[in-house]
Amino acid sequence: MLKARKVESLLKDPLVSETLKRSLLLSQEVLKFADQIPMKRGAAYRSYVSLEHDWVTQVLVAAYKDKLEIKPFNFPLVGSFPYKGYFDEDDAKNEEAKLSREYDVFRRKVPAFSSLGWFSDPLTSNLAADDYELVETLFHELVHLNFYFDEESDFNEAFATWFSYKAVEDFINHSNFISSKEAFLERLHENLAFDKEINLFVEEISHQGKLFYSQANATKNRATYFTWITACLDSFPSLKSFKKIQWNNAAVLSFSTYTRLMPDIEQYAQKNNLNYKQMLKLIMKKGPTVVREIVGEPSLPKVSRRCVPILQ
């Protein structure tokens, strides 16, 4: 944040490339569009910082080794979270090593974060390098500036993801700085389809995992479950990049946070004939009590059954 420069200043700087200036103008166009929704945005994304890598933080997810259950990270005042982030890679690796003595741990790189309005979050170079990621991520993070319910991380992230897709589709038709609106829309549909596949995959491996760990001595045979997950990926060809993952319970659980509740949110919006703007307004008006209203009580998921069950 101390290294960040004001966007207004960069736009006037003759040494700044025209490519970067166009990306910065696109980001400010997103903020103006957010004003019309309307969304609170404070002083966020009015400055820019160049990073040395393509991520802002590294996030750790920890889970118990004998069941599919997250180990929460608890903090005074702000509550508990299913993940913990680090700006320094060495710090993340050190904490990963400590947690791994007792828990399954999964570490991943994250392209953006929100301080939830506590600070004036800057734009970062990794986002400015990709117009689509810039626009979608800004809408996602702006949702967090408007609300972030304690103890409801899955809902917070799923709604921000759902909202960002809707807002991007609307924004495309109003932008003056998107070079190819057709390509932008195609990217949107590809990402949405990818998230749906992730959700189906995670539901299936989670369902099978709960059945697996219900057996006696399942913990001693965990490798069987993780080998099955890798084989299951053959039925999800669009997720071929997941083949590189070293699967453990934390990895399984880490992918559900952003997508698991999206179908519930979409169903609620359609049932009540609400667009994305009205959904945001409703949530901010009702507060955290609306979560149960939208997602309902936990129920058995409708599992896709693409893979041969791990237990016959």
At 116-131, the pLDDT tens digits run 888 999 999 999 999 9
As a whole number of angstroms, the distance between CA 213 and CA 220 comes to 10
Give me the chain's average pLDDT, please: 92
Cα pseudo-dihedral 290, 294, 299, 301, rounded to 10: -140
As a whole number of angstroms, the distance between CA 190 and CA 205 comes to 23
Which pTM does this prediction carry? 0.90
Average pLDDT for 178-207: 92
> Residue 255's pLDDT band (boundaries 50, 70, 90)?
confident
pLDDT digits (tens, 9 = 90+) for 38-85: 999 889 999 999 999 999 999 999 999 999 999 999 988 878 888 999
Angle value at C-alpha 32, between 170 and 185, nearest 5 degrees = 25
Residue 96 has pLDDT above 70, yes or no: yes
pLDDT at 300: 46
Q: Which residues of 227-247 are buried (b: 16+ CB within 10 A; e: fewer)?
A: ebbeebbeebeebeebeebeb
As a whole number of angstroms, the distance between CA 30 and CA 32 comes to 5
Average pLDDT for 176-189: 92
Q: Which two tokens stand for residue 225?
A: 């479950």
Residue 299 has pLDDT above 60, yes or no: no
Backbone angles phi, psi at 58, to 5 degrees: -120, 130
